[in-house]
Structure 1
Amino acid sequence: MTPSVAPDFDEKPPSGETLSHIFHLLQSERRRRVIWYLTHLKSNETVTVRRLAKNVASAEQNMPIPEIPNEDYRPVYTNLVQHHLPALADADAIDFNADRKVVTPGQNLNALSVVAGITIPVIALLRSETVNK
């Protein structure tokens, strides 16, 4: 028997609201960097917000972590704690302990990573083709 490639139309498709929420989460480059970083951790590995913020700041500024001045790293840390990590935690992409300031991958992290990994290059391709017309 050959496997079917037809979608299961008996399953309820995601609502427009759900899709909007997913794309809203992935809209932020900072959140995408957090997702990418966390997907490369060992299973159930915990990372401090400080380490996460330094890695995000390093990627944003294209600078090695030891060279990032505190005044450049602190706003990233604050932004992660106040906005991005709670949003990812609400989507079960991460487990965020705000008291201890630690993050572990959540049950939906890999799914969001796959969506980001497919969607972002497709959007870039669509934009480039639109520009080239």
Structure 2
Amino acid sequence: MIPPVALASHLTDQSISTIHHALRAPRRRLTVVILTHRALIHSGTENNEQISSTFESSEFTIPVRDLAREVVAIEQDIPPDNATGEEYHAVYTALTQTHLPYLDEVNAVDYLQNRKIVCPDRNLIALAVVASITSPVAQLIFSASAADLYDRSESSEDSLTDL
């Protein structure tokens, strides 16, 4: 069996360090997962050739406004139709000014700034593989609730058994 990190490095033209850096921001990880999911649904996932062609062409696109609504809906645990207002505008701005240009730079997406649309690019699958493997670990490490479980006043042996 090929280790997942080695598999990801075979699927991309970017270094594994670059991939991890691209996925450092939770909103970028979420964007990668959403785009991968939407592209796989669009492709029908019936065979590998169909999936590959979806990720290698720009036949599947998503408007940034729809992507922003979906991000807000997931982050706020609300229906996408209710993802409006200040939070929507903050996410939309962060996507257009920071996250999508960075994902475009590492060839995970093709971000057409003038048209405000996004489509998968050749490295999206590699980033999605790494995101699916590392996201649970990152959530555990950086979660405030996990940190609250660790009480520094107890011995480390007791604290570990409490988890």
Could you state the TM-score of these two structures normalised by the residue count of structure 1?
0.78
Residues 69, 84 of structure 2: 8 Å contact kept: no
In the alignment, what sits opposite 1:61?
76
Q: Counterpart of 1:78?
A: 93
Q: CA deviation at 1:67?
A: 1.7
Across the aligned residues of Structure 1 and Structure 2, the Cα RMSD in angstroms comes to 2.7
The TM-score normalised by the length of structure 2 is 0.65
Query: CA distance change for structure 1 residues 76 and 126 in 2, over 3 Å: closer, same or farther?
Result: closer
Amino acid in structure 2 at the alignment position of 1:115: V
Equivalent pairs counted in the alignment come to 121
Which of 68, 75, 92 is residue 107 of structure 2 equivalent to? 92
Question: Is contact 2:23–2:131 with CA below 8 Å preserved after alignment?
Answer: yes
SS state at 1:27 partner = coil
Amino acid at match of 1:82: Q
Name the residue aligned to 2:156: none
Higher helix share: 2
**Superposed displacement of residue 72, structure 1:** 1.7
State the SS of the aligned residue for 1:104. strand
Counting aligned pairs with the same residue, the percent is 41
Classify 1:93/1:62 alpha carbon distance in 2 versus 1 (closer, same or farther; 3 Å): same
Report the Cα distance in structure 1 between the residues aligned to 2:31 and 2:108, rounded to whole angstroms: 10
**2:125, 2:2 → 1: CA distance?**
23
Contact 2:111–2:119, Cα closer than 8 Å, also in 1: yes
Deviation of 1:32 (Å)? 0.8
Q: Which digits, 9 at most, give the CA deviation of each residue in 1:5-36, with x for residues without a partner?
A: 589xxxxx89xx93332212111111111101
Q: Against the structure 1 CA distance between its residues 100 and 120, is the aligned structure 2 distance closer, same or farther, given a 3 Å change threshold?
A: same
1:1-133 pair list within 5 angstroms? 18-41=15-38, 42=42, 43=54, 44-124=59-139, 131=150, 132-133=159-160
Distance 1:61 1:24, change over 3 A: same
Q: How much has 1:50 moved relative to structure 2?
A: 0.4
Provide structure 1 residue ranges, at least 5 long, that are not aligned to the other structure: 8-12
